[in-house]
Amino acid sequence: DIQMTQSPSTLSASVGDRVTITCRASQSISRWLAWYQQKPGKAPKLLIYKASSLESGVPSRFSGSGSGTEFTLTISSLQPDDFATYCCQQYDGHPWTFGQGTKVEI
């Protein structure tokens, strides 16, 4: 199975900060990577797919980059609604696997 490792596990930030989260795959997954946002007690929400494609309705302050084994999710200017946990997911092949998540907190 492809292992997905995120860093950091927790990130303390303030409104207006630029935030970057890293996701590393244990083998190359080309650009088959998605990012999700999850708030406590809520279902995950798709933010980005194919490493850098923004899902419809997602604010443009979210962006993704990378290919192969290293990927990043960037929030250009953190908003109050963005305090949540973010996780990456590879879909290069079965079984699809997720990172352990990065909690963005104040």
CA distances from 81 to 37, 39, 78, 98, 105 (A): 11, 10, 8, 23, 11
Shortest separation between residue 19's beta carbon and another protein, angstroms: 19
User: Do residues 97 and 3 make contact, with C-beta atoms less than 8 angstroms apart?
Assistant: yes
Neighbours of 18 (CB within 10 A): 11
Shortest separation between residue 23's beta carbon and another protein, angstroms: 12
# residues contacting another protein (CB under 8 A): 21
C-alpha triplet 70, 47, 22: angle, nearest 5°: 25
Closer CB to another protein, 18 or 39, in the complex: 39
Closer CB to another protein, 25 or 34, in the complex: 34
Contact pattern from residue 26 through residue 65 relative to another protein, giving x for each residue in contact according to CB under 8 A and a dash for the rest = ------x-x-x-----xxxxx--x-----x----------
What is the rounded distance in angstroms from the CA atom of residue 20 to the CA atom of residue 78?
10
- Per CB under 8 A, contacts with another protein among 82-101 are 87, 89, 91, 94-101
What is the rounded distance in angstroms from the CA atom of residue 50 to the CA atom of residue 65?
9
Chain residues binding another protein by CB under 8 A are: 32, 34, 36, 42-46, 49, 55, 87, 89, 91, 94-101
